[in-house]
Structure 1
């Protein structure tokens, strides 16, 4: 890790001309509690995201500099920051906790990107807050590295996500099951408004607080809704917009084999970004029922449950908006109508999410004009992957390479994907060849060339993903030796997920885990 600075300076001068905002504070301290970060003993750089800093117009002197180190470590609160822990509730594994809040996170400020979009800057692991309860407010270095790697990989994969700006080692130990090195993470998000934020507003403040938060959310994320005069239509529109973004987000997860792991309502972003990567992981061999999180013992947040869980979370969001959708009279007829309207939005979500899934899977298979008639072909391929424990990412990437072999259903050499099934068994390869014939026959109806079909498939099917065992190896190297070599190699390699790696070291990232390397459980970062 980089050597720590020997001095620190006031950042007032270097931030002259750089404006930050604190728009959430206009809602009042009901939604947050002021709190100062707690300084750490010996901060050292782990990583800093220069390209993101440029997008956010962050002054150079508070990037990966001595001055920046003290700010992103929580050792110095600059004049442009007003640290606050946000309040929210949440259903955790379907059980409502009426008051959670940021127990180890502090919103520093809001900043505008070069294109004028507003983003939150948040420190994670910077010490206790009023919502910490019995926690220490700190982060272990492992979860910080995991979130940095995963959030930046998701960005490269084209999935809406919070971003990593900085990671700083604290030079102190934190105590979980064992003593492990600590770290501080700086997260960038379009906002940190969650379904749980609305639940908190309703539970503790009633309709007025829900309305204040809804109006703020509309102004910040869905400004076109503010032009709607009818309040019932406007707030129903908010529910519709959030539902559409959730459907789109979850389908992106399914496209790349991502399992969030803890889809609680306090981890469901209103603006449709992937947030909180604690137990998150990617599929290796395909298993629709796969669960990694050590605390998800009943498979609530399994890979194939994510569309339905997002709907469940949206239902909780809808419940908070019902008083606004009902309107001013609030008679029994109005309440029944509001419930009916909200239910219709949830039903539309299901239809939209399932349509997106069909479109997504069709694109992964190179089918140009996918219809419900293609469901059997899609499900047959997935069933083969599951039955024979075939790697999800490799199977779809190699399937695109089939189109190098043949432009018809009846010619061409042995297919590249066959090796994956042959490694399983001769029967597996036989079953795959039967399916392959049907698939190639289906592609004949496309009106593009084989070369273009292959290009299209390679744009939606990554060659490399953040393999769980590679993340575990990188974390272990830092925890035991302070060695960031593998962390940096992974960070760089995973910025080009749709290109087949060529070097020997990069080719290793394409491979799934060998026997004994599999990561079977992941853990929350608290």
Structure 2
């Protein structure tokens, strides 16, 4: 099949700074064309942000681009090189095994964004993989990344998804698909590891300088820009992962190659949202030891940042002992920083804007009651807004708990006493709680229902409906009760799987 190059299609104007870096950073590779691509969806809102014509993107020409059959004018397809610690073990050569970066565009707000195809065929980093994506994981990433965006959490997003008309083979034959992902960049902690493990310190410095220029130009004039880089990435990651905890999100595979230096959520493989609150919750079928459990995500963020700090040591100071000391001092601030982000968000979830010394203990006590009473995480916080004034013990909030009635009533009394110090009315407190506690999340049973309809029947009706609901997570929507309902517990642990 001939690869064609549309000119200036749909407003695409590429300016590919990463592709101008030295050859060690990537491999040039074109997508492998597919036989019969068909459009699933174009994200109109994101297209508008990027200054693109969504209607043109939905045309046959757009479908060919999203499938990898056509390369738009100005694109320079590359597969990026990186390493990664996977479940604690270093793999020195990973790279984009099933993704190809088309290039970069500058959106309507002046922000530089990557446009990447995920599932367009083999690259030099594919190893034994086929470089393809199955329809199910593509649909999951579309749903969950859009949900995260509308929950207000920094994330990569999906511009478009297409089917390929070809099967991919995992345990069985599955329909193939290609996802077009948009990111602030696809630079990961693992990208720094790639140069560090090779002792390519010139490449390491070029990468650090590039990241500073692209993402954090304000620190370029710092006394030690590379130490400042560690600090700003630490800040970005602490803020991001704290926001995950506030909505019950479990990434599932927090390897260093899945942690961006920009502070965006990336790689929605075996991710899921927690139903019943339990910090030990794990959904990923490959996380057998619970390394990336819900409650471990803060500690793993620090572990990953420590790997990042190790990579920066040669740049932080020529004297390795001084470099280690400076990096350790910076990392020593992480726990307090992370806890500050987490507590600030949790205060808002229980209706508190000010700060009081007992707030953390108040939150911790509520979480423990939720855990002991097997309460649904999302609905417990949402329905707590009903309780600013005393309510019946048969309220929908109380019905979430299987036990702990006396402890719960005691906590509610202390919570209302704390709210009284806010010096605002009950209606205002309720209103602001409803703005930060979602009613709709990508609940596992709803996601699976959508995926089954798409994969088994080629039916995207449920996908469109659920996506529409997730775009307004804080607003109660008539007739959409199924998407807020807590699941019936089957006794069979829910498992998620990587797309590979």
TM > 0.5: yes
In structure 2, how many angstroms separate the alpha carbons of the residues matched to 1:483 and 1:161? 27
Please report how far the alpha carbon of residue 299 of structure 1 lies from its aligned counterpart in structure 2 after TM superposition.
0.8
In angstroms, what is the RMSD of aligned CA positions? Answer: 1.8
The 1:17/1:370 distance shift into structure 2, 3 A limit, reads closer
Q: Which residue of 2 aligns with 1:491?
A: 467
Query: Are 2:184 and 1:190 equivalent residues in the alignment?
Result: yes
Select the residue among 195, 201, 204 that pairs with 2:198. Answer: 204
| 1:21 counterpart = 2:20 | no
Cα distance change on mapping 1:63 and 1:80 into 2, 3 Å: same
Select 2:309's aligned residue among 314, 318, 327: 318
**Is residue 477 of structure 1 aligned with residue 453 of structure 2?**
yes
2:387: which partner in 1?
402
The residue number in structure 2 matching 1:375 is: 360
Please tell me whether the aligned partners of residues 468 and 519 of structure 1 are also in contact (alpha carbons under 8 angstroms).
Answer: no
Instruction: Assess, with a 3 A threshold, how the Cα gap between structure 1 residues 48 and 61 changes in structure 2: closer, same or farther.
Output: closer
If the length of structure 2 is used for normalisation, what is the TM-score? 0.96
Q: Which runs of 5+ in 1 are unaligned?
A: 1-6, 407-411
Distance 2:11 2:170 in 1: 42
| Aligned with residue 341 of structure 2, among 348, 356, 359 | 356
Counterpart residue number, 1:516: 490
Q: How many residues align structurally?
A: 500
Q: Given the alignment of the two structures, is residue 266 of structure 1 paired with residue 243 of structure 2, yes or no?
A: no
Matched, 1:239 2:230: yes
Matches within 5 A, 1:36-55: 36-55=30-49
Q: Is the CA contact 1:8–1:67 (under 8 Å) kept in the aligned structure 2? A: no
Deviates further, 146-155 or 350-359: 350-359
CA contact (8 A) 2:6 2:71 kept: no
Is residue 422–residue 429 contact of structure 1 (8 Å, CA) maintained in 2?
A: no
Of 409, 418, 443, the residue aligned with 1:467 is 443
Task: Identify which of 92, 108, 120 aligns with 2:114.
Answer: 120
> What is the aligned partner in structure 2 of residue 248 from structure 1?
239
Residue 100 (structure 1) aligned with residue 91 (structure 2): no
1:302 CA drift (Å): 0.6
In 1, Cα distance between the equivalents of 2:8 and 2:210?
Answer: 31
1:34 to 28, 39, 46: 28
TM-score by length of 1: 0.92
**How far apart are 1:461 and its partner, in Å?**
0.9
**Is residue 14–residue 59 contact of structure 1 (8 Å, CA) maintained in 2?**
no
2:292 alignment counterpart: 301
Equivalent residue for 1:283?
A: 274
Q: 2:85 corresponds to which residue? A: 91
**The one of 369, 375, 392 aligned to 1:414:** 392
1:507 to 465, 471, 481: 481
Tell me what 1:162 maps to: 156
Partner of 2:71: 77
Whether the 8 Å contact between 1:358 and 1:371 is mirrored in structure 2 is: no
Distance 2:26 2:322 in 1: 33
2: CA distance, partners of 1:343 / 1:182: 46
* 1:292 matches 2:286: no
Aligned to 1:429: 405
Shift of 1:132: 0.4
